[in-house]
Amino acid sequence: MLDIKIIRSDSDSVNAALKRRNPDLSVDEIIALDETRRKLLQEEEDLRSQRNALSKQVGELKRTGQNADELQNKTREIGDRIKAIESEKDVLEQRQNELLHYIPNMPLPMVPDGQSDADNPVIKTWGDEYKSRPVADAKDHWEIGANLGILDFERGVKVAQSRFSVLLGKGAKLERALINYMLELHTQRGYQEVLPPFLINAQAMFGTGQLPKFENDMFRCQDDPLFLTPTAEVPVTNLYGNEILDESQLPMYMTAYTPCFRREAGSAGKDTRGLIRQHQFNKVELVKLVHPDTSHEEHLKLLEDAEMVLQGLKLPYRVVELCAGDLGFSAARCYDIEVWMAAQGVYREISSCSNFMDFQARRANIKFRSQETGRPTFVHTLNGSGLAVGRTLAAILENYQTGPNSVALPEVLQPYFNNQTELIPHECTV
């Protein structure tokens, strides 16, 4: 959430930053509401002062036996006006907060201009030499996965609905191996492993920016005020909501595996085949709570940590920086890692690494106490996928094909398979 003090003191700069995201965004109504509310607040303070003075006069008149009816009537009228002002203020504050909750974060000045993913500049590529590895007639991951007997979409639909799938045999083992590989890599790099709840309350969803704007994208419980987690970012970041940390605790690095559940309400017709856009998928997440002075440096380190997963798997990828118009709601700056899908001949997003500055910390009320000043200050939060597991599995199936129906295993995963080097049909079926 944006700082109302910054909006109040420099609304022109805030509007200019937001219009880089979307020309229709503005804080003008928030400013108008705030000005009206502050005028009412000043009127209320003046009236309370008048009422206190009149109350003293009434007391003096009564002590001397004089008639105080007129002053008492004025005191009651002032009291009635104060009650009306309080009610007006409540309405204005509610509306102002509603608007604030829907205003996205401001892009940092160095974020490139642009309105869509077509405007995102590529800042790095890695592993181009691996593009030539697949066989000439490489199959899409859903086809070779089905041929290997490790991936079944029809049975996923049978027990759930479309955009659900089932992993079988060595496919399920490959998914589990990837989760373990990612968690082990990140914990070796200094992240604390967390296993959070998979059901999340509304306050936590608000804290990281999923609510109220994206409620239609979430799955929620019918009988309990809980949501299925859309990403581990939500529970892990909010573990420290409404707390004041000691500065010595920063930076905090956390990694977590969770299944993720998303309606994909706005993605009709996109990536309907395969594992790219499922309603349920596994993901290993990286979350950081850091000192504001180090968040830019920590952002680059976060990106490097996510890249290390793909480098270990020897999967080619590129890094793009999201332009202002393509940033996620809470992000001030974001890098996407896109893995090469050899059979499809395209790059697909596999991780978003974002710096939220103090935007989420304000919503979740996460602070640290400065050792220098002793004052509580909002932390900066960061997160990135490290990685989306299903998309990583799909990339392996497409990039590691050795024949029409065989797929090599990345070397770093072979220990999870008793040093087996290849997946072939008769070994994969259940």
Single-letter code of the amino acid located at 150: I
What is the arithmetic mean of pLDDT over 51-67?
91
Angstrom distance (rounded) from CA 183 to CA 187: 6
pLDDT in tens, 332-370: 999 999 999 999 999 999 999 999 999 999 999 999 999
Could you say which DSSP state residue 73 is in?
Answer: H
Of 79, 93, 366, 81, give the one whose Cα is nearest residue 206. Answer: 366
Which residues sit opposite 385 in a β-bridge? 285
Q: In angstroms, rounded to a whole number, what is the distance separating the alpha carbons of residues 294 and 307?
A: 20
Q: Quote the pTM value.
A: 0.93
Residue 232 has pLDDT above 60, yes or no: yes
Average pLDDT over residues 55-80: 92
Mean pLDDT of the chain: 94
Position 427 pLDDT exceeds 70: no
Residue 292: pLDDT over 60: yes
**Torsions phi, psi of 362, nearest 5?**
-65, -40
Tell me the pLDDT tens digit for each residue of 159-203. Answer: 999 999 999 999 999 999 999 999 999 999 999 999 999 999 999
Summarised one tens digit per residue, pLDDT across range 96-122 is 999 999 999 999 999 999 999 999 999
CA angle (402, 406, 407) in 5-degree steps: 70
pLDDT of 46 > 70? The answer is yes
Q: Which of 121, 108, 127 is nearest to 18 (CA)?
A: 108
What is the gyration radius of the CA atoms in the chain, in angstroms?
28
122: three-class secondary structure by DSSP:
strand
Q: Which is nearest to 105 in space by CA: 322, 384, 377, 388?
A: 322
Query: Residue 429 above 90 pLDDT?
Result: no
Token digits of residue 56: 């003293």
Q: What is the per-residue pLDDT for 267? A: 58
- CA dist 398 and 147 (Å) reads 13
User: Tokens 């497409």 map to which residue?
Assistant: 398
Has residue 235 got a pLDDT over 80? yes
Model pLDDT, residue 430: 44
Is pLDDT of 271 > 70? no
- pLDDT of 108 reads 98
Position 135 pLDDT exceeds 90: no
Residues 357 and 328: their CA atoms lie apart, in Å, by 13
Q: Do the bridges between strand 199-201 and strand 366-369 make them parallel or antiparallel, or are there none, so unpaired?
A: unpaired
SS3 content of the chain, % helix, strand, coil (to 5): 45, 20, 30
State residue 287's pLDDT score. Answer: 98
Q: Which of 186, 117, 123, 182 is nearest to 317 (CA)?
A: 123
Nearest to 208 by CA among 185, 184, 240, 256: 240
Note whether 397 and 405 are within 8 A (CB). no
> CB of 25 within 8 A of CB of 99?
no
Q: Residue 34 pLDDT more than 90? A: yes
CA distance 404 to 407: 9
Backbone angles phi, psi at 12, to 5 degrees: -65, -45
- Beta-strand runs (E) in 41-164: 122-126, 151-152
Provide φ and ψ at 315, rounded to 5°: -105, 125
Helix, coil or strand: residue 197:
coil
282 strand-pairing partners: 259
Q: At 407, which helix (H) or strand (E)? A: strand 406-408
Residues 370-388 have a mean pLDDT of 96
